[in-house]
């Protein structure tokens, strides 16, 4: 029951990717909505945890600016980012979930001044998610799949026919971010070749991770795979976003926050 003294920041790029989180907060507590920098920040309690919930919008600048506001204006104790991503790893399928253990900006390239991917003057390319948060998120995903896997397969059988044979898998590892929607076999193939351990590609996570690293704020990223970043990506992404993304985010965040609230109580 709202015993974390500093709030947890929870955000996604697009409203569909937040699922029912703001509605759940409004049902559970008084909500203080604050608006600045063209973003709405919802401050209240959801699933027993004191949170600030907002939308970053799309891309690394938007994500970094929002993370910075969460840290400075709301003094969040940690940041959790949820949403969808394109699958890059060979074993990562639409409907699976990826928890970022490490994040990298795949479009950062200040060569020959600095090594490829390295953030100039920070001396690093890869940013680690907080281990405990990432483990708690992965455990929440596993519980979500265990409890909801059969219902997901039945409800989304046209969009996710694979679920009839196999439950969604929860992967942990490298998530890469850049200011591009990756939508061709050539583009995703190039990413796979350059970064063979990449599991998923999206447009915000590594920017959040960089800001959190700079300020010493723990962070974690969870992504449901909406497409495989090839020629079908935009169609797959759009249909996934309509319905499925919110169902996953709502279920995963519910599991995660309930456990987080129990742990800090
Ligand atoms: N988010 C979801 N799918 C994506 C893709 N293919 N590229 C970048 N970001 C994404």
200 lines ligand 1 (CB under 6 A): no
- Ligand 1: which residue has its CA nearest to atom 9? 202
Q: Is 71 a member of any domain?
A: no
Residue range(s) defining the domain that contains residue 202:
82-264
Sign of CA dihedral 223, 134, 253, 37: negative
Residue 119: which of 128, 130, 107, 129 has the closest Cα?
Answer: 107
**pLDDT tens profile 108-129:** 999 999 999 999 999 999 999 9
Q: Is 230 a member of any domain?
A: yes
55-92 as b/e, with b when 16 or more CB fall inside 10 Å?
bbbbbbebbbbbbbbbbeebebebbbbbbbbbbbbeeb
Q: Is 210 a member of any domain?
A: yes
Q: Is 56 a member of any domain?
A: no
* Arithmetic mean of pLDDT, 71-93: 97
Please report the pLDDT score of residue 263 as a whole number.
85
Q: Is 202 a member of any domain?
A: yes
106, 189, 237: which to mutate for ligand 1, most atoms within 8 A of CB?
237
Q: Is 133 a member of any domain?
A: yes
Residue 99: which of 125, 75, 77, 80 has the closest Cα?
Answer: 80
Match 């600016």 to its residue by tokens.
65
d(CA 165, CA 227): 18
Q: How many CB atoms sit inside 10 A of residue 16's CB?
A: 18
d(CA 13, CA 26): 20
Structure tokens at 165: 């044979």
Q: What does residue 202 show for φ and ψ, rounded to 5 degrees?
A: -150, -160
Q: What does residue 58 show for φ and ψ, rounded to 5 degrees?
A: -100, 140
Q: Is 62 a member of any domain?
A: no
Residue 170: which of 149, 186, 156, 188 has the closest Cα?
Answer: 149
Instruction: Evaluate whether 239 touches 159 at the Cβ level (below 8 Å).
Output: yes
Q: 117 CA to middle of ligand 1, Å?
A: 19
Q: What 3-state DSSP class applies to 13? A: coil
Distances (CA, A) of 214 to 42, 77, 79, 122, 218: 25, 14, 13, 9, 10
Q: What are the helix (H) ranges across 75-130?
A: none
- Ligand 1: which residue has its CA nearest to atom 4? 86
191 lines ligand 1 (CB under 6 A): no
59, 232, 233: which to mutate for ligand 1, most atoms within 8 A of CB?
233
78 lines ligand 1 (CB under 6 A): no
Model pTM? 0.95
Please report the pLDDT score of residue 2 as a whole number.
47
Q: Is 35 a member of any domain?
A: no
Q: For residue 233, which atom of ligand 1 is closest to its CA?
A: 6
CATH number at residue 101: 3.40.50.1580
Please report the pLDDT score of residue 164 as a whole number.
85
- Distance, C-alpha 264 to centroid of its chain: 22
Counting the structural domains of the chain, the total is: 1
> What pLDDT band is residue 265 in, cutting at 50, 70 and 90?
low
**pLDDT tens profile 11-61:** 999 999 999 999 999 999 999 999 999 999 999 999 999 999 999 999 999
Please report, rounded to a whole number, the percentage of residues in the chain having pLDDT higher than 90. Answer: 85
């Amino acid at each position: 029951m709202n015993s974390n003294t500093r709030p947890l920041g929870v955000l996604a790029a697009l409203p569909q990717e937040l699922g029912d989180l703001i509605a759940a907060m409004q049902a559970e507590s008084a909500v203080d909505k604050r608006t600045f920098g063209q973003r709405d920040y919802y401050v209240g309690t959801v699933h027993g945890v004191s949170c600030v919930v907002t939308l970053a919008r799309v891309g690394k600048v938007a994500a970094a600016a929002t993370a910075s506001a969460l840290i400075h204006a709301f003094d969040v104790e940690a940041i959790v980012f949820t949403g969808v991503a394109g699958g890059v790893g060979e074993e990562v399928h639409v409907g699976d979930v990826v928890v970022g253990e490490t994040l990298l900006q795949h479009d950062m390239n200040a060569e020959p001044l600095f090594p490829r991917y390295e953030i100039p003057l920070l001396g690093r390319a890869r940013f680690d998610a907080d281990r405990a948060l990432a483990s708690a998120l992965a455990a929440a995903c596993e519980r979500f799949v265990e409890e909801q896997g059969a219902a997901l397969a039945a409800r989304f059988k046209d969009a996710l026919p694979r679920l009839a044979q196999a439950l969604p898998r929860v992967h942990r590892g490298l998530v890469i971010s850049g200011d591009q929607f990756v939508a061709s076999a050539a583009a995703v193939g190039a990413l796979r070749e350059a970064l063979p351990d990449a599991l998923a590609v999206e447009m915000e996570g590594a920017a959040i991770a960089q800001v959190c690293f700079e300020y010493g704020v723990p962070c974690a990223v969870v992504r449901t795979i909406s497409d495989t970043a090839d020629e079908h990506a935009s169609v797959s992404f759009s249909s996934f976003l309509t319905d499925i993304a919110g169902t996953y985010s709502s279920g995963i965040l519910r599991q995660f926050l309930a456990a987080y609230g129990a742990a800090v109580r």
